[in-house]
Structure 1
Amino acid sequence: MDLYIIRRHGVWSNEDELAATNEKSLQVGEQMKDRLRWIRSYAVTEEDGRIGSVCIYQASDREAIREHGQRIGAPSEDVRVARGTAVKRDDPEPVTVV
């Protein structure tokens, strides 16, 4: 499986919507576990105040990423294969868990 970076732009209007999508993502991810694995996500505040995300997934191919996004109601065409990883430090505190 390859490592993918997914950027979802302004999908959610509030934290409750984001939390519901996160829950759905876990459920769908379990159903797709032979093709996809959620590694990490960062929620980001968009310029218009909506919530977007930057997500890291392992997946068999881009189609698995696209299918997962469609099934959880958070599609994205901004999907890139990661060329490498350089972790220098753990996430600083506080980072809110959603």
Structure 2
Amino acid sequence: MQLYAIRRRSAWADAAELEAAAKTSADVGDNEMPDRIRWIRSYVIAETNGRLGTICIYEARDPAAIREHAERVGMPGDEVEAIADTVVIRPGPQTANATAA
């Protein structure tokens, strides 16, 4: 499987909407598509219009699996980029309240 970044711009009105989408996303990925997609992490973006967006990191067979997963969940999935490599300068901070899609 290949690593991908997905940008979901202004997709959610608030944290509650985002958390509901995250729950559905995990369920669909883990139970309906476990051999095609795996959610790794998400970064929540405070958009300039007051909504929330995300940058999500997934492992997937191909971009089509990412788009199908997004469609099943009901969230954007059209900005998909393959990740060529990872450069880690220091570990990311640990957060207890982060759940995103």
The TM-score with structure 2 as length reference comes to 0.91
State the 4+ residue runs in structure 1 displaced beyond 4 angstroms.
none
Consecutive unaligned residues in structure 2, runs of 5 or more: none
Q: Residues 1-98 of structure 1 correspond to what in structure 2 (within 5 A)?
A: 1-30=1-30, 31-92=32-93, 96-98=97-99
RMSD: 1.3
Distance 1:86 1:74 in 2: 29
Distance change >3 Å, CA 64–CA 93, structure 1 → 2: closer
What percent identity do the matched residue pairs reach?
45
Q: Using the alignment, how far apart are the partners of 1:58 and 1:67 within structure 2?
A: 14
Unaligned runs of 5+ in 1: none
* TM, length-normalised to structure 1: 0.93
**Structure 1 residues 35 and 12: CA distance shift in structure 2, 3 A:** same
Q: Report the CA distance between 1:95 and its aligned residue.
A: 6.5
